[in-house]
Amino acid sequence: MKKKLYLRIQAFVLVFLLMLTTFVILPEQALADAEIAADETDMISSDESSEPVDESVTETDIDSTESSLVPTPEQVDEADIPSAIDEVIETPEVEQAVQEAVAEKQDEQDADVAVPDPADNGRGTRAAYTPEQYFIFDVTTKTITDYTGSDKAVSIPPSIGGVKVEHIGGNAFRYKELTSITIPNGIESIGHAAFLDNQLKNVTIPDSVTQIDESAFMRNQLTSVTISNSVIYIGDLAFLDNQLKNVTIPDGVMHIGELAFMRNQLTSVTISNSVNHIGVSAFKENQLINVTIPDSVGSIGEWAFEKNPIIWASIPESILFILDYDGNPLVYQPTAEQIGEYCFDDGVALYVKRYIKANYNIRETPNGKVITKLWRPLYVTGTKQGGWYKFTYNSKPAYVVMEATTTDPPPMTG
């Protein structure tokens, strides 16, 4: 019977210890408990120092007192053991502590899910870039000069060895069989032939790039390109021999080099009003149907739009020079007809803004019925057809003799 009682006591102790191990003690709680314990120690110390010590109490008395507090196996009633265990388990304070510990643990887990570690994010971002060791990098000029990796999809890191990458050097990625390239914001220039002879399908030029040098993307398989507003200069042959369907030259671009977009599949091109130079054969051998040259253009190269199925083109008065392949002037202050002769195929209808002088008749057809006689000058966009100037008047076709037109503002009364 006594042995059985001992076993039950041991079971009780084990259960009690197991319950203690279920409590989660947070660092903040441990610190608070330590502070409270320290306060209590101070209080006890002060109390002990204030009370006189009864030196008559001997170690023997203490031992006898302690032995009287610890029950012997004979004094422990078997019926009391389950009730003691239940009392420990069902104490309201214990239940509350367990619930609080579980709640705090759940909060910690929720926090881990809702707020990822910024360091982990940083590691993930860095992992998205092609490893730095595959780039030859000139720290002095902040220029990538070569790529030594075998991966055909490359993401250029914004910095290498802690130094910001600002330039992609000439021939840096030439003949690498690349199928994809990601250029980070921060790159300022793309060197000559930087991506020549690859298999790129599309490319986005970031907002930091100001210059795309000659042959930079020549002989790829580009079907689309996004050029940012930051670009000022597009060099000769920059996108020669690709498969571009359409392209927008954004505000900011001032120079389009020779053969820059030659031999693509362009059906449309939008040229912004910031461009002041279009190079020789810049858009030659495409599929353009119509072209509008903005008023900002001051010089244009010969053959700029040749070998396109262009039906009509809008020509500004701002063009001062037609240039040859060497950049020498062929024609100074060319007429629309001269621009058509040097820059377009035969048969393209050239639309030019002209003034019609006052006191001239507007007709339905050449030498046909008079619609009206102008009493003041009219500024319209039209095209030359033989000795007549064709334009739209009151939403209908109209004609006036070419001698009645001028590019300079005429007197109000003709």
Whether pLDDT at 196 is above 90: yes
Domain 133-351, CATH class in plain words: alpha beta
pLDDT band per the 50, 70, 90 thresholds, residue 22: low
Question: Which contacts (CB < 8 Å, 24+ apart) does range 84-93 have?
Answer: 84/12, 85/12, 85/15, 85/16, 88/15, 88/16, 88/19, 89/19
For residues 305-322, give the mean pLDDT: 96
For residues 322-332, give the mean pLDDT: 95
How far, in Å, CA of 159 to CA of 122, rounded?
14
pLDDT band per the 50, 70, 90 thresholds, residue 329: very high
Interstrand relation of 361-363 and 349-356 (parallel, antiparallel or unpaired): unpaired
Residue recorded with tokens 């990822």: 116
Whether pLDDT at 140 is above 90: yes
Whether pLDDT at 363 is above 50: yes
Find the Cα–Cα–Cα–Cα dihedral 383, 384, 385, 391, rounded to 10°.
40
Three-state SS for 120?
Answer: helix
Share of the chain above pLDDT 70, in %: 69
Q: pLDDT: is 265 or 5 the higher one?
A: 265
**pTM assigned to the model:** 0.67
Whether pLDDT at 276 is above 80: yes
Instruction: Report whether 335 contacts 329 (CB < 8 A).
Output: no
Q: Average model confidence (pLDDT) for the chain? A: 80
pLDDT band per the 50, 70, 90 thresholds, residue 346: very high
Question: For 222-270, what is each residue's pLDDT tens digit?
Answer: 999 999 999 999 999 999 999 999 999 999 999 999 999 999 999 999 9
pLDDT at 384: 85
Task: Compute φ and ψ for 80, nearest 5 degrees.
Answer: -75, -20
> Is the Cα torsion angle 171, 176, 180, 181 positive or negative in sign?
negative
pLDDT band per the 50, 70, 90 thresholds, residue 28: very low
pLDDT at 402: 93
Whether pLDDT at 13 is above 80: no
Q: H helices of 70-150, where?
A: 80-90, 92-114, 118-128
Question: For 81-131, what is each residue's pLDDT tens digit?
Answer: 334 334 333 444 434 443 454 444 444 444 443 334 333 333 334 449 999
Residues with Cβ within 8 Å of residue 318, at least 6 apart in sequence: 295, 296, 297, 298
For residue 291, the Cα-to-chain-centroid distance in whole angstroms is: 31
The residue ranges of every structural domain in the chain are 2-48+62-115, 133-351, 361-406
First to last CA, the chain: 135
Interstrand relation of 370-373 and 329-332 (parallel, antiparallel or unpaired): unpaired
Instruction: Report whether 374 contacts 355 (CB < 8 A).
Output: no
Whether pLDDT at 174 is above 90: yes
Whether pLDDT at 188 is above 50: yes
